[in-house]
Chains A and B, each alone.
Chain A
Amino acid sequence: MSALLRLHRVTCAYGGTPVLVDADLEIGERDFTGIVGPSGSGKTTLLRAMLGTVEPAGGRVERQPGLRVGYVPQVETVNWSFPVTVFEAVLMSRTSGRRLPWPSAAERAEVASVLDRLGIGGLGRRHIRELSGGQQQRVFLARALLRRPQLLLLDEPTSGVDVRTRHEILHLLDDLNGDGLAVVLSTHDLNGIAAHLPQLVCLNTRITGRGTPREVLTPDVLERTYGAPMEVLEHGGMPIVVDAPQLVTDLGARTPRSVTSSRRREATWAG
C-alpha cells in the first residue's frame, strides 16, 4: 500500500497563534481515518493542510503526484439561500474540459449516476435548501465524487443530522472506502462515528494518539486529548466513551449546594 499523502512535522498558525503543531501523519490508499478532538484542537486546520489551502508555518506536506482530492466542507459554511439546484451544485465541480455552461449528455448521465448512487436521484431539480440534512450532505458528497477523487476529506459530515442519517452517511462512506476511495473525516462524535472507524487520530493542537478505536479510545489518551477525565465502557465489543463517574458525582453533589446558596442569597436580598 503506497501513501497518498504525508505530513512531516507540520505546524500551522493563524496570526502567530499555533493551531496545529508538529503533526506527522500518513494517509494510504483505502485508508478510512477519523480525526477527533475538542473544539479548537486543529481538526479543520489539519484537513486544510492536507488540502493545501493552509500553508504550513513549519514542516511539509507531500502528496502523490497528480493526487485527486475531493473535499466536503461543513454544511454550516454553505450559503443555503444561493440560487442553485442540486444538479447545478454537483455539476459546478466539473470545471475542466467542457467550456460551455450547459452540460453534455455524458455529463448529465454522470451526475445522474452519482446522485442515484448516493440515493438522491430524482432530486436534481430541487433547490439545495429544499432537502433534508442528510440529503444536503449527500449533494456535497456528490459534488466531491464527480471529480473522481482518490482521497475524500470531509469536515464534520454528521454534524446536525439525526441518528438514522448519521448511520446512512457512515455506511455510504464505508461503501465508498470499500470501492477503493481513501476517506478522512473530522468528527466530534466519539461513540456514533469515531468508534466505528478503522483508524483514529486524536488531536489537541498536537497529535495525542493514533490507532484503532480500541487503541486510542482509552481514558489516558482521551484525557490527554480533551483535558478532562473520561471513562471507556464496552458494549457489543465496541468502546463507549462516557464522562468519568467522579466528574458526574462532583457535579451532582455541587448542584444542590449551588441552589441552596442562591436561595440563601435571594432570601437575603428579599429581607
Chain B
Amino acid sequence: MGWLTEPLEFAFFRHGLAVATLAGALCGLIGVYVTLRGMSYIGHGLSHAIFGGAAASALVSLNFYLGAGLWGMACALAIGRVTRRRIIGSDAAIGVITTASFAFGIALLGLYGQVRKSIDAAIFGSVLGVTMADVWVVAAVTVAAGLVVLAFYRKLLFTTFDPEVADVSGVNTARMDALLMLLLSVSILATMKVLGVVLIAATLVIPAVVARMLTNSFARMLWLSTLIGALCGFVGMIASYHLDVSSGATIVLVGAALFAVVFAVTGPRGRRRAAGLEDHGPAPVAATAVARD
C-alpha cells in the first residue's frame, strides 16, 4: 500500500487528490447531459472561452473565479441562446463564440505579456497550485451540482430527451437549458486549475461515454458516469505522482484506458450504444414542421 500512502504525506497532493476526485465526479455528472445533447464539443469550447475571461481577470487583478466565471456564464448563455434560435447548429455556435473568446485571451497575452505566468496553470492544469480554498470551491460546486440534478432530475431528463413535448407538458425548457449551461460553466471554472483548459473536454466526455456503453438506463448512466469520473480522477492523480507526468494528462489517459477496456469487453452492443451519442435528439421544431408537413 506504500504506492498509495506515500504521496498522501504531502499536503499539496492531498489537496490535489481531493480536487481531482471531486472534479472527475462533477464532470462525469454534467458530462451525461452534455454528451446526450450532442454537445460534447462544448466542454472544449467553454474552457477555451473561459480562458479569455481568465486572461482579462488577471490583467485587471480581479478574482479568477469571479472574473472567469462571469465571462464563462455569459459565453454559455450566449451559446444557448444562439442554439435555441435553431438557425445554426450548436457546434457552429460553440465554434464562433468560444474561439472568439479564446482569441481575445491570446490578444491580451500579446499586449500584456506579464499576465502569461498567472494563466499558464489555467491552460495546462497544475496540482501544485491547488490550495485548501480550491478544494472547498470544487466540493461546494460538486454538492450544488448534485443537488440541482436531484431537484430537477425529471425536468432535465425530459428537456434533454424530448424538448418539444417537455415544453407542451409544462416544463420551462429554456430555463432548464440555461440551468444546465450555468452548471457546465461553473463546473469548468471550478475544475480548470487541476485539469487545465486543454483537457477538460475529455473529462466531460469519457466517463459519460463509458457509462453509456455499460447501461441503457438514464438513471444508471448518471451515477455510473459520476463514479467513473471520480475513479479516473483518483487513479489519475496517483499515477501522475508515480510517473511524474502532469495531473490533467494522466487523468485523461486513465479515462481513455478505461474506455478502451470497456469498448473491448462490451463488444458490438456497447459500441452501438456509444455510437448513439452522436444522435443530437429530435430535429428542430420549425424544421420538422416544414420538412414533414
Contacts and interface: CB of A to CB of B under 8 A. Distances in A.
Interface of A: 14, 17, 19, 39-45, 48, 51-54, 69, 71, 73-74, 76-85, 88-89, 91-96, 99-102, 127, 143, 147
Contacts of B6: none
Interface stretch (B62-70, B129-137, B161-169): B161-169
Nearest to A159: B292
Nearest to B161: A82
B103 interface: no
B217 A83 contact: yes
B290 A78 contact: no
A101 B288 CA distance: 31
Chain B interface: which size bin?
35 or more
B155 interface: yes
Given A53-B164, A69-B168, A84-B161, A127 B282 contact: no
Contact of A43 (B218, B221, B293): B293
Nearest to A73: B165
B245 to A, nearest CB: 33
B270 to A, nearest CB: 12
B59 interface: no
B84 interface: no
A147 B280 CA distance: 26
Interface in B151-182: 151, 153-155, 157-158, 161-162, 164-171
Nearest to B272: A81
B202 interface: no
A17 to B, nearest CB: 8
Given A73-B165, A127-B217, 18 more contacts: A14-B290, A19-B290, A43-B293, A48-B285, A53-B167, A53-B168, A71-B165, A76-B292, A79-B279, A83-B276, A84-B216, A88-B219, A92-B154, A93-B165, A95-B169, A95-B171, A100-B153, A101-B154
A71 B212 contact: no
Contact of A44 (B151, B171, B215, B288): B288
A39 B292 contact: yes
Contacts of A95: 154-155, 158, 166, 169-171
B281 interface: yes
A48 B279 CA distance: 24
B277 interface: yes
- Per DSSP, are chain A's interface residues mostly helix, strand or loop, or mixed? loop
Contacts of B285: 48, 53-54
A230 to B, nearest CB: 20
Contacts of B150: 99-101
Interface string B256-293: 00000000000000000101110111110110111011
B141 interface: no
27 contacts: A19-B289, A19-B293, A44-B292, A51-B168, A53-B167, A53-B285, A71-B165, A71-B169, A73-B162, A73-B282, A79-B276, A79-B280, A79-B281, A81-B276, A83-B276, A84-B157, A85-B217, A92-B154, A93-B158, A94-B154, A95-B155, A95-B166, A95-B169, A95-B171, A101-B153, A101-B219, A102-B219
A23 to B, nearest CB: 13
B288 A82 contact: no
A48 B289 contact: yes
Contact of A78 (B154, B162, B170, B273): B162
A89 B160 CA distance: 12
B289 A82 contact: no
Contacts, number: 118
B106 to A, nearest CB: 37
A95 B154 CA distance: 6
Contacts of B219: 88, 101-102
Nearest to A147: B169
Nearest to A125: B217
Contacts of B162: 73, 78, 92
A143 B218 CA distance: 16
B288 A88 contact: no
A82 to B, nearest CB: 5
Contacts of A51: 168
B273 A81 contact: yes
A17 B283 CA distance: 20
Nearest to A85: B217
Given A69-B168, A95-B170, A96-B170, A81 B158 contact: no
B64 to A, nearest CB: 33
Nearest to B36: A82
Contact of A92 (B157, B216, B276, B277): B157
A66 B90 CA distance: 35
Q: Which of B170, B218, B293 has the most chain A CB atoms inside 10 A of its CB?
A: B293
Contacts of A85: 216-218
